[in-house]
Amino acid sequence: MENKVSVGLLGLGVVGSGVIKLIENHQEKLAHQLGCSVQVKRVLVRDLDKSRDVTIDESILTTNPDDVLNDPEIDIIVEVMGGIEEAKQHISRAFAAKKHVVSANKDLVALHGPALQNAANRNKCDFYYEASVAGGIPILRGIADGLSSDHIQQVMGIVNGTTNYILTQMDSEGVSYEDALKAAQELGFAESDPTSDVDGLDAARKMAILARLAFSTAVDLEDVEVTGIRGIELEDLQYGYQMGYTMKLIGFANFDDHELEVNVQPTLLAKSHPLAAVKNEFNAVYVYGEAVGETMFYGPGAGSLPTATAIVSDIISVIKNMRLGVTGNQFIEPHFKKELKTPDKRHAQYYVRIYAKDQSGVFSTISSLFHEREISFKRILQAPIMKKEVAEIVFITHHTTLENFQEALENLGGLDTVLEVKSYYKVEGDAIT
């Protein structure tokens, strides 16, 4: 192998600039680890005249993808341009030209990751995408290498910084959802169009990638059930707080008896749970393995340099594989056939808030409705009467199946004494109050 490896960058925005800086600043360390230098040779951008967040020799910038993808000296393509179709075409072309690829693109990997991995393998190329999940946290390596000897049963993640920032601000400062979102946009955490963050799609993409690796199953994006945080009311965070819980957007993936459940939903998490301490824009992934027990990986889920660390570590892995002549060996067919759990096999606790008539017998009607479906209550709280003859009641159930809970909820709304089911959320963990 030559004493220099050349890299082509597709994109020079937030992440691409971080990659340039990290490679430049860590030349000595890279040379020591790899026995060669790493050079960024060409960079694809949209606009040659744009001012950049990094000092760069402008002659290496191009708006023509061929200049990067057809350069015979470039061994590794780093895709940090985002989007789906164009990025997919460029990556496919890179594999066809026997170039290795490192990508940060969770949208693309969630949708087309297995097909691209297959193409990489056919061409004896590497395809790494550590930065696509939880930015600077080395969670994919943690699962694929660090825990490869274990049988992973559960993965829970706070994998979207924008929503975690919003919920933390609502919880700790008592600000409304709208005000917290505005603050997140002003601080640059949330996009100007924050739809995929607040509606949970960004987290769903990351959970699909995590679940595939953790459970060696062909999880598709459409297998992930998604509910976002839009419309969450402060009242629910406040009642949760009183009962020992904090609201988080949790990505949940569980695999037992060879059956799978993956979802993203706002969840009231016991304050004693390790993920409850993850605040503001930080991310964390909690992994439960049969042998290892509880583990948690914590850190920045986005940002220029944190995300660049994941990319440059992927570049290092590729170069080490090149040196050993073992590239293109990552792809392993999923070990387990995909079987999704039906609602009668999905167990959880639930929080419900209702408005009911303030009259005798209301509690007993509600509790017998739940009792008929073998659901018992863990906590019940009646708030002060809001207006004449209307009571606000909050309760948390013990574990039940999703099927029983959905039936009970449907019938609850039909009771004469219940004026409105205001909200309901999944509950995780046991609160100590």
* Residue 46 neighbours by CB distance under 10 Å: 10
Choice between 196 and 400, CB closer to ligand HSE: 196
* Interface with ligand NAP (CB under 6 A), residue from 123, 246, 254, 307: 307
13 lies in the binding site for ligand NAP (CB under 6 A) = yes
Binders of ligand HSE among residues 149 to 168 (CB under 6 A) are: 160-162
* Interface with ligand NAP (CB under 6 A), residue from 8, 11, 157, 240: 11
158 lies in the binding site for ligand NAP (CB under 6 A) = no
Reply yes or no on whether 206 is catalytic: yes
Straight-line distance from the first to the last Cα atom of the chain, in angstroms, rounded to the nearest whole number: 62
Contact 129, 314 (CB under 8 A): yes
Residue 316 touches which member of ligand NAP, ligand HSE, none, C-beta under 5-8 Å by kind: none
| CB-count exposure of residue 210 (10 Å: 0-12, 13-18, 19+) | buried
Please give the Cα distance from 44 to 80 (Å, whole number): 10
Chain CA centroid to CA 115, Å: 21
Choice between 42 and 353, CB closer to ligand NAP: 42
130 lies in the binding site for ligand HSE (CB under 6 A) = no
135 lies in the binding site for ligand HSE (CB under 6 A) = yes
Residue 11 touches which member of ligand NAP, ligand HSE, none, C-beta under 5-8 Å by kind: ligand NAP
202 lies in the binding site for ligand HSE (CB under 6 A) = yes
Which letter, b or e, does each residue of 365-401 get, where b requires 16 or more Cβ atoms within 10 Å of its Cβ? ebeebbeebebeebbeeeeeeeeeeebbbbbbbeebb
Give the interface segment with ligand NAP, choosing from 77-85, 138-146, 266-274, 380-388 (CB under 6 A).
Answer: 77-85
Residue 162 touches which member of ligand HSE, ligand NAP, none, C-beta under 5-8 Å by kind: ligand HSE
Choice between 189 and 239, CB closer to ligand HSE: 189
CB of 135 to ligand HSE, least distance (A): 6
131 lies in the binding site for ligand NAP (CB under 6 A) = yes
List, in sequence order, every residue forming a beta bridge with 256; answer none if it has no partner: 259
Q: Which amino acid is at 285?
A: V
301 lies in the binding site for ligand HSE (CB under 6 A) = yes
The four Cα atoms 119, 309, 162, 50 give a dihedral, to 10 degrees, of -80
| CB-count exposure of residue 257 (10 Å: 0-12, 13-18, 19+) | exposed
Please give the Cα distance from 73 to 58 (Å, whole number): 19
81 lies in the binding site for ligand HSE (CB under 6 A) = no
Choice between 214 and 311, CB closer to ligand NAP: 311
Choice between 158 and 394, CB closer to ligand HSE: 158
Give the interface segment with ligand NAP, choosing from 13-21, 187-195, 221-229, 390-398 (CB under 6 A).
Answer: 13-21
Give me the residues that bind ligand NAP (CB under 6 A), please. Answer: 11-16, 44-47, 50, 80-83, 86, 104-106, 131, 135, 302-303, 307
Give catalytic residues, as residue numbers.
206
